[in-house]
Structure 1
Amino acid sequence: MSTPNFDESPLDVAVVGGSIAGCATAIRFSQMGYRVAVFDKKAMNDQSHKRLCTHFIQPHAVPLLADLGLAHLYEPAWSVPTKAVFVTPGGLVEGPGGYVPGPPDSYALNLERRVLDPALRTAAQKQGVQYIDSTAVESIEEDESGWILNTRGESGSHPFRARLVVAADGRRSRLAKELGNATEEHPNERAALFGYFSGIKTREDNRSVFIMNDRDLACVYPLVEGRTQLVLFAEKARVEGWQGADGRLQQFMNYFDDLPDAPSMAEAVPETGLLGYSDYPSQVREPVVGSVPFVGDAALSVDAMSGVGCGFALVSADLLARSFADRSLDKADLTAGLAEYRQRFEEVLLPHVETICGDSLVEKNEASRQRMFQVISGNEELSQKYLALSGRMLMPNEFQRDLVRALMSRGAAGLKR
């Protein structure tokens, strides 16, 4: 995958990590006229992609694909435009309307990483970004003129110089360890299982269905070519007894078949075995340490049940790029740009993290939860705001304010009766 005959002369921007956030950052800085390279320790080819992902691009992030030269991914050959339907203890929460016409941020995309990841790498190279794979950044050093990156690849060790280094090296960020960017962890009390199937008849309107069952969340994502991804976020104790590859898959399918609001598994044909995890705490790091910004999972890697991984990766790259849109990489502008990025990151992304981390804990008061969703599902305006919140197009404090008002109004109405 490496850019043929890559140039080792000084870079403007070195991006460490070549997944969604790294490629998006590289494209945006290259569009501003900077000389950019992406370093990825893994060997990449057209089949290389992340597999443990819901592929659900939230509405707030869908428009950012066009900014990266990927507007063609909106087309039905590549993705499925979709909207969320929540089956809750208090009733159905569903938005009106279709997907076209309307702005891209009016819907989500079920866009598989087998499509998105190679498309981002290709877009980066077309933009002029050097993509240097099979090359690990082993350490970085700062001097008066910028950064020295000490790398090791198939051809040996090579130093690179760059004026700005961006950490996009994922949840296990090596740069975070080297630069002392401490990881703040929040517990996640659910395990997750992911499976791909053909033969499942999903809704004709291509809605993605999220079924709250006790304290689990069962997800049905329609994919291209009539395929379906099923994802279960369940209390760990529920799935611990599902032993063996075949037994676990059958238990997984039985679970969905027993849900009244899930599609039938009668004709389901597994395409792969189950993927998943049993322990995946949310991680939060500082968006800037010294003069190095962190983007994507290197900054925020939170519970996949929220479906924000791809979106937060795209948004963090966008926030960083916009913070430098009218600035150079000279020292004063660099300092100001990083300060603006920190502020944007804290204002746009961090408010959602507290809500997501709260949802990662298994809720104990089912009666209160049912009452809350009865109010939400019975109030059209509040339903739309809940959907906007879940799509990260509404800030949590605004939704909480309106929810409290609705709950108080319902309580007052009950007293009057």
Structure 2
Amino acid sequence: MSAQKSESLSVDVAVVGGSLAGCASAIRFSQMGYRVAVFEKKAVTEHSYKQLCTHFLQPHAVPLLDGLGLAHLREPAWSVVTKAVFVTPGGVVETPGGYDPEQPDSYALNLERRVLDPALREAARRQGVRYLQGTSVESVQEDESGWTLDTRDGTGAQQRYRARLVVAADGRRSRLAGLLGNPTESRPNERVALFAYFTGIEHPEGNRSVFIMNDRDLACTYPLVDGRTELVLFAEKSRVESWRGTEGRLEQFLKYFDDLDQAPSMADAVPESPLLGYTDYPSQIRRPVQGSVPFVGDAALSLDAMSGVGCGFALQSADLLARSFAGRSLDGADRRAGLADYRERFESTILPHADGICGDSLVGKDEATRQRMFTTICRSPELSHKYLALTGRMVQPAEFQQAFLRGLMTQRVGAART
């Protein structure tokens, strides 16, 4: 750092990264009475948001909006209340019934990032969080009294900060992970992902979000506010290799959906965006705590977008971190206990979902086994409910697996008796 830097500024909590997990963590620590600063390396405007997202906030995370001062985002002006419908090789998996506004975890939200991202940043500022956009953290150093962070803003100006706790929320390319030696475990993802927004597509009854398993692909339709629809396709790479040119790729994309019997008609679809996407997006897993720094959101766990867990796990990891420090100070034994508590909560609550999600990122599966599995699920209302709870991250994978084995045995016994 230059000798021209000004005197160190002091905060209690320094959150590195100003997206969902970072802002949610900052709000929660500020609510505890701490002085909090967020360091976001990107130059952010009030209209900045992430485009490459399914915008599907799963049921387990919907109640977390309330504690962040964002309960209003469940209203129709801001989001679409929805439930998942899975069209599988063994039949349709769907939970009947409507939505209970008194039970926000009974439904999902199609909440676009163009709404959520600015709203969360504004909620952080209202809470008194200092949001430093366009400011990168160049180095961090810990001593007996806390952390020193050397930063640089967009003009090149340098500033040093002191903090009692540093939270790593700087995404899948986390610089803090490199500075602190938090290793990245990479898992392969064998599908490409394509995203586009449209008007003119009729929404399904009840504004259901429909997930169609087609061979080894997953085609998703998400109803959005103002009668818009997001279409997302997770497909084998060979499926789309022949789609060439901007207009040709979009035309082939729409044709793919129109050829699916269970998808709405694309005849009147009008594109609102170009075709967005990625061809290589491996899942990444890091330790939830490295030394005395907790990692939240994509900095800790960045999984295949086909699982739709990104937004939910970002908010949930921030919630787990805040709850781990409730009633504790940021110093000494209290800080160590809070970090240990967060590590245990993360590893028991969020991490168990990773193996199944990473397994679903591989296309080389036994289709006969897969069909038998979904046939078993579709024949049992209890298993259907459990499957939807699993995909909504309301139950742990082990709980679903136990229920599936019981259901499989029950069906086999019933078949033997007939």
TM-score by length of 1: 0.97
**Aligned counterparts of 2:101 and 2:176: Cα–Cα separation in 1:** 43
Structure 2 matches for 1:109-128, cutoff 5 A? 109-128=109-128
Question: In the TM superposition, what whole-angstrom CA distance separates every residue of 1:330-385 from its partner, at most 9, and x where no partner exists?
Answer: 11110000000000000000111111111111142111111111111111111001
The letter of the residue matching 1:392 is: R
Structure 2 matches for 1:248-397, cutoff 5 A? 248-397=249-398
Q: Secondary structure of the equivalent of 1:241?
A: coil
Q: Counterpart in 1 of 2:181?
A: 180
Q: Secondary structure of the equivalent of 2:49?
A: coil
**Aligned counterparts of 1:8 and 1:129: Cα–Cα separation in 2:** 18
1:98, CA displacement in angstroms? Answer: 1.1
**Aligned counterparts of 1:101 and 1:294: Cα–Cα separation in 2:** 32
1:135, CA displacement in angstroms? Answer: 0.5
**Aligned counterparts of 1:342 and 1:312: Cα–Cα separation in 2:** 14
Question: In the TM superposition, what whole-angstrom CA distance separates every residue of 1:256-301 from its partner, at most 9, and x where no partner exists?
Answer: 0000000100000000101111111100000001100000000000
8 Å contact from structure 2 (residues 148, 163) kept in 1: yes
Question: In the TM superposition, what whole-angstrom CA distance separates every residue of 1:13-39 from its partner, at most 9, and x where no partner exists?
Answer: 000000000000000000000000000
The letter of the residue matching 1:161 is: R
8 Å contact from structure 2 (residues 79, 112) kept in 1: yes
Q: Counterpart in 1 of 2:230?
A: 229
1:416, CA displacement in angstroms? Answer: 4.0
**Aligned counterparts of 1:290 and 1:412: Cα–Cα separation in 2:** 52
* 253-262 or 329-338, which deviates more: 329-338
* 361-370 or 124-133, which deviates more: 361-370
**Aligned counterparts of 2:11 and 2:59: Cα–Cα separation in 1:** 34
8 Å contact from structure 2 (residues 39, 133) kept in 1: yes
Runs of 4+ aligned structure 1 residues displaced above 3 Å come to 412-417
* 138-147 or 252-261, which deviates more: 138-147
Q: Secondary structure of the equivalent of 2:59?
A: coil
Q: Counterpart in 2 of 1:71?
A: 71
* 92-101 or 231-240, which deviates more: 92-101
The letter of the residue matching 2:83 is: K
The answer to whether 1:95 aligns with 2:72 is no
Q: Secondary structure of the equivalent of 1:205?
A: helix
1:410, CA displacement in angstroms? Answer: 2.5
The answer to whether 1:238 aligns with 2:209 is no
Structure 2 matches for 1:134-213, cutoff 5 A? 134-155=134-155, 156-213=157-214
The letter of the residue matching 1:301 is: S
**Aligned counterparts of 2:9 and 2:282: Cα–Cα separation in 1:** 40
Q: Counterpart in 1 of 2:409?
A: 408
Q: Secondary structure of the equivalent of 2:47?
A: coil
Question: In the TM superposition, what whole-angstrom CA distance separates every residue of 1:157-212 from its partner, at most 9, and x where no partner exists?
Answer: 11111000000000000000111100001111111000000000121310000000
**Aligned counterparts of 1:358 and 1:88: Cα–Cα separation in 2:** 17
Superposed CA RMSD? 1.1
**Aligned counterparts of 1:101 and 1:129: Cα–Cα separation in 2:** 30
The letter of the residue matching 1:400 is: Q
1:415, CA displacement in angstroms? Answer: 3.8
**Aligned counterparts of 1:198 and 1:154: Cα–Cα separation in 2:** 38
The answer to whether 1:36 aligns with 2:36 is yes
Q: Counterpart in 2 of 1:220?
A: 221
Question: In the TM superposition, what whole-angstrom CA distance separates every residue of 1:51-82 from its partner, at most 9, and x where no partner exists?
Answer: 11000000000000110000110100000010
The letter of the residue matching 1:35 is: R
The letter of the residue matching 2:167 is: V
Q: Counterpart in 2 of 1:4?
A: none
**Aligned counterparts of 1:96 and 1:118: Cα–Cα separation in 2:** 34
1:413, CA displacement in angstroms? Answer: 3.4
Q: Secondary structure of the equivalent of 2:205?
A: coil
Structure 1 residues 323 and 235: CA distance shift in structure 2, 3 A:
same
The letter of the residue matching 2:282 is: P
1:408, CA displacement in angstroms? Answer: 2.4
Length, aligned pairs only: 411
- % identical aligned pairs: 71
Q: Counterpart in 1 of 2:4?
A: none
Stretches of structure 1 lacking an aligned partner (at least 5 in a row): 1-6
**Aligned counterparts of 1:218 and 1:330: Cα–Cα separation in 2:** 49
**Aligned counterparts of 2:111 and 2:36: Cα–Cα separation in 1:** 26
1:244, CA displacement in angstroms? Answer: 1.2
**Aligned counterparts of 2:304 and 2:154: Cα–Cα separation in 1:** 35
**Aligned counterparts of 1:104 and 1:405: Cα–Cα separation in 2:** 29
**Aligned counterparts of 1:209 and 1:63: Cα–Cα separation in 2:** 22
Question: In the TM superposition, what whole-angstrom CA distance separates every residue of 1:88-112 from its partner, at most 9, and x where no partner exists?
Answer: 1111100021113441000000000
Q: Counterpart in 2 of 1:14?
A: 14
* 151-160 or 401-410, which deviates more: 401-410
**Aligned counterparts of 1:264 and 1:287: Cα–Cα separation in 2:** 44
8 Å contact from structure 2 (residues 9, 160) kept in 1: no
Q: Counterpart in 2 of 1:3?
A: none
1:405, CA displacement in angstroms? Answer: 1.9
**Aligned counterparts of 2:263 and 2:269: Cα–Cα separation in 1:** 12
Q: Secondary structure of the equivalent of 1:233?
A: strand
Structure 1 residues 189 and 414: CA distance shift in structure 2, 3 A:
same
Q: Secondary structure of the equivalent of 1:194?
A: strand
